[in-house]
Amino acid sequence: MRSYQATHDLTAVSANLRETAINTEQTLDTTMLCALGDIIQLDRRRESNSNEATGYEEPDTLYDLGTLASGTFNFEKAQPQHIAFLCAYALGATTTGAAGTGYQHTITPIAGDLDEDRSVPSFTAAQRLGNNVLRRRFASIFVDSLTATFAKDSWVKITGNLKGSGKYTNNVTTEDITAEFDATTLTLAANAVQGSDAATRLANVQRIRALVPNSGEYQDVAYSAVSGATPAIITITPPATAVAIAGLSKAAACVVTWTAHGLISGDKATIAGITQAEWLALNAEHTITLIGDDSFSIPVDTSGYVLVYDAGTDPGTIIESTDATYEVLYIPTESGWMTFPSRINETPLRVSEMTLTVGGKWNGTTFLGGRDLQAELKSINWTFNNSLKVEFVPGAGGTYASRGIREGRSQKLKLNREFREYIMQQHMDDNDTLGLYILVEGAIYDSPHKYQAEFIFPKVGVLAAPVSVDGKRLAEAGDLQVLEDSTYGSVIVKVKNLQITYAA
């Protein structure tokens, strides 16, 4: 049974390997534990002809300008892998070395652009919505910005805002089948339907509708079974309805009486169930010639029949059997990217296991000096923004963008704490800079190595630190500007876990 419960959603990404070029899908390697509601959206660009002289008061046409993608990944209980993944794709440069039986990933802002079309690496993502309403793969997703939040008595949280080129692939497909309007089965052209049992296959056909001959409207078609064959055979209830024959004439071209039949010359009708001996030859399919709204002729000569057709006692029926187009919406047998990789489980990081050091100095290996903020700390947030523009460029073609370029990085820190002393205010008075260091540790994976994440800011300036009242105690909210140090850059993120690489 198909389920549309959001808890069944899954998100998979190419965490380890970046795409080799824009709009070139990479292999999915990790299923991520994203927050409920983290659904990547297609931003379909449409434009009407409202500013053109159409002869009407209102627009009558929509133009398709292609598609972009956007979304958010929220890791409410951040694991080291989540931090490494988002930071590697947001910052852009990653080196990895051994750390016991695991690895340490050192992530820094990329110098310049990755290539002509990308400032930072792009990854491939896929999502399963419900079970199994839709699976969709997205090429070239970028991390435009991220926010890491460390609040007291909470989990470390990290959020990435995503932008994508808009190139996508669905596991749901539509297929047009030509069959008679009174058909009881439809055979797909080549595909089987996903599912190892009859109920699953039936659920994976999402809609069948028929284009009604002549009148031109779509009519939903009921279906009851889907075979496991390749191609699949679908059992349907015919959209055409058989009616009792009202009358058959004795004529060189037999005239059929059928009230409001709706047929035109060249359509087909099938007669069945006639038992009168002379009239048995009419039990067949016939091409009709229109006479009127309630009658038409068929190419059968009944002029020499002895007995007239007795519509009152003969159980003959007639049904339209003109060829119609059936549109089938279904999930074919899944393969390749549609099979999601396993989820990796690591220890979530708690702020209670965090060390925040302010005022020290990074020497390239160790953070020296400074003062640890503990009980007075309420929260610290780090925001990183690429200001990325995903663009359609001349000559690229396609219905999706083909360029993702950074306009300029920016970073900020926001430090909320109890106002116990004048230290931050003095930094503002002096207009000086300081270093800032965050370490969050989890479980040991190979003693003494732990699952952990370090955030090193070699050079930070205080923009503002207004004093306020929180409850009945004084509080201070420091807005800190992350600056670029001439030797060590603006930020260094170091993550330890058991994964071999990120965005390589």
Q: pLDDT, tens digit, for every residue of 455-464?
A: 999 999 999 9
139-157 pLDDT, tens digit each: 999 999 999 999 999 999 9
CA Rg value for the chain: 34
318 — phi, psi (to 5°)? Answer: -135, 145
Sheet strand arrangement including 268-272:
243-244, 317-320, 268-272, 285-287
Percent of the chain with pLDDT over 90: 89
pLDDT tens digits, residue range 293-342? 999 999 999 999 999 998 888 889 999 999 999 999 999 999 899 999 99
Q: What is the pLDDT of residues 32-87, one digit of tens each?
A: 999 999 999 999 999 999 999 999 999 999 999 999 999 999 999 999 999 999 99
pLDDT tens figures, 170-202? 999 999 999 999 999 999 999 999 999 999 999
Q: How far is it, in rounded angstroms, from Cα 218 to Cα 212?
A: 6
Give, for 424, the enclosing helix (H) or strand (E). Answer: helix 423-430
d(C-alpha 188, C-alpha 378), whole Å? 61
65: left (phi over 0), alpha (psi -120 to 50) or beta: alpha
Indicate the SS3 state at residue 201: helix
Which pLDDT score, from 0 to 100, does residue 335 have?
Answer: 87
Q: Coil, strand, or helix at residue 200?
A: helix
Does domain 246-315 fall under CATH 2.40.30.60? My reply is no
* pLDDT over 90 at 365, yes or no: yes
Side chain identity at 424, as an amino acid letter?
A: M
* Separation CA 272–CA 281 (nearest Å): 10
Residue 94, CA distances (Å) to 10, 184, 320, 404, 406 in order: 26, 59, 67, 19, 18
pTM for the predicted model, two decimal places: 0.90
Residue 395's pLDDT is 73
Phi, psi of 52 (to 5 degrees): -115, 150
Judged on CB neighbours under 10 Å (0-12, 13-18, 19+), 276 is: middle
Buried b (16+ CB within 10 A) or exposed e, 254-263: bbbbbeebeb
CA distance linking residue 454 with residue 459, whole number of Å: 15
